[in-house]
Amino acid sequence: MSAAIEARGLSKHYKGKAALDQTDFHIETGRIVGLIGPNGAGKTTALKAILGLVPFEGQLAVLGFDPRTQRDRLMQDVCFIADVAVLPRWIRVREAIDFVEGVHPRFDRAKCERFLANTQLKPDAKVRTLSKGMTVQLHLALVMAIDAKLLVLDEPTLGLDILYRKQFYQRLLEDYFDEEKTILITTHQVEEIEHILTDLMFIQNGKIVLSATMDEVGERFTEVMVGADAIEAARALKPLDERQVFGKSVLLFDGVPRRQLAELGETRTPGIADLFVATMKGTYA
């Protein structure tokens, strides 16, 4: 399968500090990838490099183009939803639709209007009169109606309530995604995207510390809840993490056969949030 994004030795420094540190990653076409990391880990810098918004060192190909020298061509096939929806406060909803329709050849006005039909947005409403959540809804409708090969989402549902967040991800799957499109998402609300991801990447201190498909995550990582009688045997298997829940110990393992762990207690596949917390321990020390 061809690569939508291929990075080798990707580096970016700010005032001598590495935001990206010789990092490598590979994202195949037709995947939904979650790029997860703590604040300051390099997520936003990686997205800016992919979008050609910052200079960088190393090799980076996005849809076969170099973002540094071929950004104009690249952006014909890329859409970006930032964590802050930036729209002119004077513009009306219908005028915003008219504008995007006029400048982007792949904009589908009917799809945009279908998305807005499920909101409280009115065509003559000005952006300055909209709530933060409604402004985000307008921004999402405009961008998701563009038939892009790569969709980059940076905290895309920030400012939306839980109902609209769920609707957004559902529409993302039903109305936008197909095997020819690739979606890269960063968010701190990892539980909300877990069910739609095909791949997972953790970034820490400018480096990718975990890159795996969701199937591989399910095969590699196991949590086991053990009582006091089995705790020493479990610790001998060198868990990645240990925490206490209702008076019992929950230990997280990487690569230990689940059958072996089942002899010690109740096993389950960890959620992304639990896996993230275990991987990032010490980040804020």
Residue whose C-alpha is closest to residue 248's, from 231, 273, 269: 231
Q: Tokens 């279908």 sit at which residue?
A: 114
On the question of pLDDT at 282 being above 90, the answer is no
When the candidates are 1.20.272.10, 3.40.50.970, 3.40.50.300, 1.10.3720.10, the CATH number that belongs to 3-205 is 3.40.50.300
pLDDT at residue 161 in the model? 82
Region of residue 247 (left: phi > 0; alpha: psi -120 to 50; beta: else)? left
Residue 152 phi, psi (nearest 5): -110, 120
Q: What is the pLDDT of residues 13-37, one digit of tens each?
A: 998 899 999 999 999 999 999 999 9
pLDDT at residue 284 in the model? 41
pLDDT grade for 272, boundaries at 50, 70 and 90: very high
pLDDT at residue 110 in the model? 93
Average pLDDT, the chain: 90
CB 153 within 8 A of CB 81: yes
Residue whose C-alpha is closest to residue 67's, from 136, 3, 6, 158: 6
Which has the higher per-residue pLDDT, 133 or 248?
Answer: 248
Residue 249 identity (one-letter amino acid): S
Give 259-267's long-range contacts (Cβ < 8 A, gap of 24+).
Answer: 261/222, 261/224, 261/234, 261/237, 262/224, 264/224, 264/226, 264/230, 264/233, 264/234, 265/224, 265/225, 265/226, 265/227, 265/230, 265/234, 266/224, 266/225, 267/222, 267/223, 267/224, 267/225
Which has the higher per-residue pLDDT, 282 or 61?
Answer: 61
Q: What is the pTM of this model?
A: 0.89
Q: What is the pLDDT of residues 198-207, one digit of tens each?
A: 999 999 999 9
Report the alpha-carbon distance of residue 141 to residue 123 in Å, rounded.
13
CA distances for 156 relative to 124, 135, 184, angstroms: 24, 12, 11
On the question of pLDDT at 285 being above 60, the answer is no
